[in-house]
Amino acid sequence: MRLLRGLRGLSAQLLLFIVLPLFLALSAIAVGSAVVHQRSMRAVIGERDLRAVLAAAAGLATPAGRPDSQRIQAVLDPLQASPETAVRLADAQGRIVYGTSPQEVGQASSHPGVAKALAGQSGLLYRADRPGGPEHVVAYAPVPVAAQTGQTIDWALVVEEPWSQVLSPWLRLTLFAPLILVVAVASTLLALWLAVQRVIHPLQRLDAQVTALGWGDFEAVTTPVGGIQEIQELQGALTRMAAQIRAYQQSMRGFLGAVTAAQEDERKRLARELHDETVQDLIALKQRVQMARRKAAHEPGDLDERFAELQAMLESTMDEVRRFSRALRPIYLEEAGLVAALEALARDANQDALQVMYEVEGQVRRLAPDTELALYRIVQEALHNAVRHAQASNVHISLTFEDDVAVQVRDDGTGFVPPQRVSDLVEAGHYGLMGMHERAQLVGAHLVIRSHPGAGTTIEAHVHPRKPHD
C-alpha cells in the first residue's frame, strides 16, 4: 500500500511515464543509428575499395605480357589512400610481387584475399589483423595476364585498410552519440531532481501545513517551505487567508460562546425551577398521600392498594425529574466538581444493555468552571453517541490529572471512518462531534477522535488547566 501511494506521487510519475520512456527511446535511437551508421559506412568504403581494385586490376592486365615495375608502380601507388592502407600484388604461387611493406616482397602470403583472387574471385571480406584489433575491409580481384595459350589468371591484387580510420573526424564523432545521450539523460535527471527539491517537496510540505490548518493549527502555515518564488507567494497568500479565517473564527467563537452561555443559563434556570418547585411539590404530594393512606386505613375496600400504586408512580416521577434536572444542569458539577459529576453520569448511564466503567488517575483538583463544564458535556455527548449510534455494550471513561488534564471515552461499538477535516464533520452529519470540537476549542482543549469500522470509537480531550478563578 505504501508503495502504491509512492507511485502516485508526481516525482514517481514523471520518472515512470516521461523520463524512463524518453531514456529508452533515445537509447534505442542512438544505439540503432550508431549500428546502422557503422554498417553503412563499412559498406560504402568496401564498395569504394572494390571498385578501385577492379579498376587497378584492369589497368594491370595487358595483352603484351606481364606489366613492368614502372607500370605496376604507376597503377598501384594511387590505391594507398592512407598510411594504414596495405596494397599487395601476388603472383600465381602466392608470393608478393609488390607490397606497401618492403619486408613482404618475395614472401609467400597466406592472406585469404590472395587465395580468393587466385581462385578467380573478386569481392570483399572483413577481418581483424589481430584479436581485439580494428576491423579491416579487404577488397580483392584477380589480374588476368595474357599468355600464348590464351588469357589466364596469373596474379592477385589485394587492398586492405581499417575502415574506421578512413572516416573523417566529423563522421567519427557520430559514434559518440550514446555518450551524448548519457549527458542528456543526466541533465534531465538533474533537472528532475531540482524540480523535486524546489517544487514537489515544498508543495508536499505546504499540503501538510494546509491539512494542519484545517484542524485549527494556524501557526503551521507560517513555517517557510522554500521552493520557487511562485510557491512562496502561494504560501504568503495562504498565510494571509489563515489570518483572516482565524479572525473570523475568533469572532464566531465569541458568538458561539455567547450562545452556549445563554443555553447554559437557560438550563440552569430550568433545573433550579424543577428542583426548587416541581420536586418540592411532588414531595408535598407524597406526604399528603401518606397521610390520606393512614386516615383511610380503617376503611374497607382496595383504597390502600390504590394509594400504594399512586405513591410508586410519584416516586418514579420524582426520580425522572431528578435525572432530567441533572441532565440540564449537573448539580454535582457545581458542588463537588468534575470527578463527582462524571461519576454520577456514569452511574446514571449504567443500564442492562450498557456497562460503563469509570476511573480517575492522578492528583484530583478543581478546574475552571467553563473547563469542567466543557469536559463534562464532551463525555455526556460521547456516551450519548455510544448508546444511540454505536450500539456499544461497554464504555470506559477515564479522567487523568497530570500537567494537562485528559478525559477519554472508549466504546466497543460499530465505529466509523472519521473525516479528514473538521469542516467535513457537518457534511457527514456528525453534529455531536462538531459540538464536542467547538466546546473543546472554547476552553483551549485539543480533541482527538479515533475510530475504525468494527473497532469502536475513542474520544480524547486534553486541556491545560486554568485556575478556577481565571
Cα 348 to Cα 268, 326, 344, 385, 395: the distances in Å are: 20, 10, 6, 15, 13
pLDDT band of 16, cuts 50, 70, 90? low
Cell of 422: 473538521
pLDDT band at 370 (very low <50, low <70, confident <90, very high): confident
Instruction: Tell me the three cell numbers of residue 210.
Output: 494546509
| 8 Å CB contact between 408 and 226 | no
- The answer to whether residues 315 and 357 belong to one domain is no
Q: Are strands 394-401 and 355-362 parallel, antiparallel or unpaired?
A: parallel
Q: What is the mean pLDDT of residues 141-154?
A: 65
Q: Is the pLDDT of residue 3 over 50?
A: no
Residue 429 falls within a domain, yes or no?
A: yes
pLDDT at 330: 67
Q: Would residue 221 count as lying in a domain?
A: no
CATH number at residue 126: 3.30.450.20
Domain identity same for 380 and 466: yes
Residue 157 in this model has a pLDDT that exceeds 80: yes
Q: Within this chain, do residues 350 and 325 fall inside the same structural domain, yes or no?
A: no
- 274, 389: one domain: no
Q: Would you say the C-alpha torsion 99, 100, 105, 108 has a positive or negative sign? A: negative
pLDDT at 11 over 60: no
Which residue among 148, 167, 186 closes a domain? 167
User: 77 is in which domain, residue-wise?
Assistant: 14-167
Poorest-confidence range of 165-169, 243-247, 379-383, 388-392?
165-169
393 and 459 fall within a common domain: yes
Cell of 302: 382496595
Instruction: Identify the CATH number of the domain in which residue 397 sits.
Output: 3.30.565.10
Residue 62 and residue 121: Cα distance in Å, rounded? Answer: 19
User: Does residue 301 sit in the same domain as residue 248?
Assistant: yes
Report pLDDT for 148: 46
Task: Tell me, yes or no, whether 295 and 390 share the same domain.
Answer: no
The long-range contacts involving 447-456, CB below 8 angstroms and separated by at least 24 positions, are 447/378, 449/418, 450/418, 451/415, 451/416, 451/417, 451/418, 452/415, 452/417, 453/414, 453/415, 453/416, 453/417, 454/414, 454/415, 455/415, 456/390, 456/392, 456/410, 456/411, 456/412, 456/413, 456/414, 456/415
Q: Report the range of poorest mean pLDDT among 82-86, 135-139, 147-151, 395-399.
A: 147-151
- What pLDDT shows up at residue 406? 93
Binning pLDDT at 50, 70 and 90, where does residue 174 land?
low
Tell me the C-alpha distance between 218 and 231, whole Å.
18
pLDDT confidence band for 461 (50 / 70 / 90)? very high
Residue 460: strand, helix, or coil: strand
On the question of pLDDT at 367 being above 70, the answer is yes
Calculate ∠ Cα 37-39-42, nearest 5°: 105
Residues 161 and 261 in one domain: no
Co-location of 49 and 144 in the same domain: yes
The per-residue pLDDT of the chain, averaged, comes to 77
Number of folded domains in the chain?
Answer: 3
Report yes or no on 453 lying in a domain. yes
Co-location of 400 and 378 in the same domain: yes
pTM of the model: 0.44
